[in-house]
Chains A and B, each alone.
Chain A
Amino acid sequence: MEYEVNIGIEIHAELLTKSKVFCSCPVQFGAPPNTLTCPVCLGLPGALPVLNKKAVEYAILTALALNCKINRNAIFHRKNYFYPDLPKNYQISQYDTPIGVQGFLEIETSKERKRIRIRRVHLEEDTGKLIHSGGRITGSDMSFIDFNRSGVPLLEIVSEPDISSPEEAKEYLTNIRDILVFLGVCDGKMEEGSMRCEANVSIRPKGSEKLGTKTELKNINSFRAVERALQYEIDRQIDIVSKGKEVIQETRHWDEKNERTISMRSKEEAHDYRYFPEPDLVPLEIDDAWIERLRSQIPELPEEKYERYKDLGLTPYEAKLLAHDLEMSIFFDETIKLYNNPKNIANWLLVDVTKELKDRNKVITQTLITPQLMTELLTLIDEGRISGRIAKEILPEVIDKGLSPRKIIEERNLVQITDVSELASVIEQVIKENASVVEEYKKGKEKSFMFLVGQVMKLTKGKANPKLVNELLKKTLG
């Protein structure tokens, strides 16, 4: 039998505010345990929350970017459950009036362009971090708690189960990540936990109306893991069903090391969060003026960039690579204002510059190259003052030291030789010194010609204009 797959994804993204969502403690990573805490985020008796305006604005921005409707009257609820990393034993979250509802995101798969509906976007607080002695949940003799993360603003983004393959899931996730990064609201680093993902997965016979029993997948900690975890779980479910058994509704844990999903086997407890409106906070009233002000702050997102880059003549492949790389696309956009050959810039950025950056494990803004320097470099090539080879040679210095390409070539005398008489004398020398090769060429061995060109380049330290060398050499050899 053939099966259809339904995947819904729930993302928790830590917002890049300077302070926590309900208190003024700094949001910061790597601080010593419990040093970024206060009565509010430790859940001390008597402490009260006060909402961070920036966190609300980031939530609205994201909701708008994901085509959501904004709830004009959004309120916070308490989600009541006991867990030692949750200091108040309730999480301040949103329930029936999330900030954004009914949005969507369009993704492109190898087959089609597809719209994934987004059910809700809401704001809540993060928990503290539990560390188990021995490193595993079970079997450890003590647990340690650090509340530095407690109260960091979290954005929860929940999709409808519209995703039908692991490939689509990854595409959806990376698109969301890119949007968050472009908006500047989250750094999107799954491996560091600043973006976390859970998925619910179900299968059903092709054509069937009713969704199958879903399992909830947790502990997917990298983009790499998304596809593999989902594929494993789909295969597992198909295997169960094709044996005539039934999938049980449960939470399963992705075991990265052994590449499998395992049942959480936690004590059976029906979730009963006893949501009720948070009496310590007053409602949010989000009016048109506020929404429009925020809407105007939304930068160009990858999707729009992609379309624009294609219009500039880039291939879809080039356009996509550039459009989804925030720093590179900004660099590109700045450069095309100075230098009117987008194709050429894209080529240089995506090949040579990217290679240099990879070697250094840096993004472009962490180096000293600027759109001005890039323009200078490309103009020198266009003017025939240096060859592409020379340009590639000096690129590292431009990147590392921010030196002007013009100055480099002048100081080191790297300007291309375009003087015919100067080249003619070099050619004469090469012919003289390689009489046997010249003979071979004259007998029809084409390769020998390339060798002779190479010799000219060598003697000129690469400065000779290759086109000119070709012409002159051909003429001289007759």
Chain B
Amino acid sequence: MLSIEEVIHIERLARLKLTDKEREIYRNQLNDVLNYAAKLDEIDTSNVPPMYHVLPVTNVLREDIPRNNFSLEDALNNAPLKEEGFFVIPPILGGEE
């Protein structure tokens, strides 16, 4: 069973602020799914190679030709906060030094 500490650790890795109630719900539901996923232990797959891509394609490359057809307006239109061409966010760390 997943511990509440583990849930909080995952929550922090995922930058996902949860309420205590949500933590409890996800803890249970995650457990259900993970227990179900244990079905994959039924078969020994030690000799099976992992499949990263369904299609056998390699070396999809682009020539080094610069192009710029996205305007500053396009870039900033959806910004929650902007100033003089910059995206603006709250400070990186708290106020203390």
A contact residues vs B (CB 8 Å cutoff): 17-19, 24-27, 32-39, 42, 50-56, 75, 82, 84, 89, 130-132, 136-147, 266, 269, 272, 274, 277, 279, 281-285
Contacts and interface: CB of A to CB of B under 8 A. Distances in A.
Interface residues of B, number: 38
Interface string B57-97: 11111111111111010011000000111111111111111
Given A144-B86, A283-B53, A37 B91 contact: no
B59 A285 contact: yes
B66 A18 contact: yes
27 contacts: A18-B66, A24-B67, A25-B66, A26-B67, A32-B72, A33-B84, A34-B86, A34-B87, A37-B75, A39-B70, A50-B62, A52-B64, A53-B61, A54-B63, A55-B64, A131-B86, A138-B94, A139-B96, A142-B89, A143-B88, A143-B89, A144-B88, A145-B88, A272-B13, A274-B13, A282-B60, A285-B59
Contacts of B36: none
A56 B83 CA distance: 36
The B contact surface, by secondary structure, is loop
Nearest to B70: A38
A394 B61 CA distance: 52
A34 to B, nearest CB: 5
Interface in B7-47: 12-13, 15
B64 A282 contact: no
Given A19-B64, A37-B75, A282 B58 contact: yes
A145 B63 CA distance: 28
Contacts of A146: 85-86
A235 B12 CA distance: 37
Given A269-B12, A284-B59, A139 B97 contact: yes
B92 A84 contact: yes
A269 B14 CA distance: 13
Contacts of B92: 84, 130, 132, 137, 140, 143
Contacts of A142: 88-91
A82 B12 CA distance: 10
A34 B57 CA distance: 34
